[in-house]
Amino acid sequence: MNHKRVGQQIVVALAGVGLLTAAAACSDSSDSSSTSSPASPSSSASSVADVCDLVTDQQIQDAVGAKPDTSKPGEETTAGESVCYWKTGSKYLLTLTRYAAPLDVTAKMAELKSGLFYDESLPSPEVGDESFYRLAGHNDAAVVVFRKGDVAYMLEMGNTADAQVSEAQEAAARPHAVELAQDVLAH
């Protein structure tokens, strides 16, 4: 057995692995079009907090009829999706979610416009560049989804009652949700 030859083969093999690793690292850092990098913690934290600054407690009180005790930014679990919650006691008064890059906003709008909770019979609330209502669930009085440019929002006005809202209650709440949506875009 030639130990010198085996040693040279090991050195050549290790050098090849090193080159492949370096090439892969260069490829990953220079090709940002194929993957999106996660948001940095500081930019995520500020973007989530910024959503809470888009609506005032007074605007919520005017729309919902109750003043929030707290506003709380949610965690940004998906890059580009930020949420803020306003509550009084244990009741949610308002939830505002913002969708922006690196999230595919067009795909998110299509997702929100499909399925059980989209009511295509309702006319557009005409907020921003594109908008529509979603049917309120048990915890919602009214839901409006709207987009301006490459940023979209879903505004969910909370149901402060202990029962499902009626169609009449939902219809009465929608203009207030639209007013809040316009306030968000004016901010």
Domain containing residue 82: CATH number: 3.40.1000
136/49 same-domain check: yes
70/112 same-domain check: yes
Answer whether residue 40 shows pLDDT above 80.
Answer: no
Arithmetic mean of pLDDT over the chain: 76
149/129 same-domain check: yes
Give the chain's radius of gyration (CA, Å): 25
pLDDT over 70 percentage in the chain: 74
Distance CA(99)–CA(83), nearest Å, equals 9
Give, for 39, the enclosing helix (H) or strand (E).
none
pLDDT at 78: 87
25/59 same-domain check: no
Rounded to two decimals, the pTM is 0.72
pLDDT at 73: 84
pLDDT at 49: 58
15/90 same-domain check: no
Determine contact, residues 180/173, Cβ cutoff 8 Å. no
* Average pLDDT of span 4-8: 38
Answer whether residue 163 shows pLDDT above 60.
Answer: yes
pLDDT in tens, 106-142: 999 999 998 778 877 888 999 999 999 998 877 899 9
pLDDT at 47: 57
> Helix or strand or coil: residue 7?
helix
60/119 same-domain check: yes
48/27 same-domain check: no
**Burial classification of residue 37, based on how many CB atoms lie within 10 Å of its CB (0-12 exposed, 13-18 middle, 19 or more buried):** exposed
The residue range of the domain holding 4 is 1-35
Overall number of domains in the chain: 2
Q: How confident is the model at residue 33 (pLDDT cuts 50, 70, 90)?
A: very low
Amino acid identity of 158?
A: G
Answer whether residue 23 shows pLDDT above 60.
Answer: no
pLDDT at 100: 94
* Average pLDDT of span 37-57: 60
